[in-house]
Amino acid sequence: MCGADLSLPRSNESVMPDTATVVSLPVARQPRNMRRVLDLSTAHLDRGDTLEFEEYLVTKGQSGSMPCLSGPYGWLVSVPDELESIHDDASPGLYAILAYAKEAGCDWVLFDRDGDIDDRFPVQWQD
């Protein structure tokens, strides 16, 4: 075991676990203040999807059906509670991604220019 001392401690020595010791902890439900995020490439986005995001941002949420945040390299999109609410506004690819994220228990999808391309979803553009 990588040179670890397996001898028993003397009675006056404290028992300290080796740093390589793996501790099994019970798996708890995810706390409400923690969120799961699906991280994908912006290559999965159709131009119409990005226009929908921009409409939401420009109107400060007054127009557009997909709540999101924007940055210089992509978008952080909220996974809706009801997918039907975005059915008419999302491309089939985005709809499939959001449906997958919802099924996986994700609250957000991060579309990042450096994110991975996932073969399960359509790619709208590449370099």
Residue 102, class by beta-carbon neighbours within 10 Å (0-12 exposed, 13-18 middle, 19+ buried)?
Answer: middle
What pLDDT is attached to residue 20? 47
What pLDDT is attached to residue 7? 47
Beta bridge partners of 113: none
Q: How far is CA 88 from CA 7, 25, 83, in A?
A: 67, 44, 10
Mean pLDDT of the chain: 82
What pLDDT is attached to residue 22? 52
The pTM for the full model equals 0.72
Q: Is the pLDDT of residue 4 over 50?
A: no
Domain-by-domain residue ranges, the chain?
A: 37-112
Residue pLDDT, tens place only, 17-50: 444 455 555 656 777 788 999 999 999 999 999 9
What pLDDT is attached to residue 68? 94
Average pLDDT over residues 46-73: 92
Average pLDDT over residues 92-111: 96
Q: Cα Rg for the chain, rounded, in angstroms?
A: 22
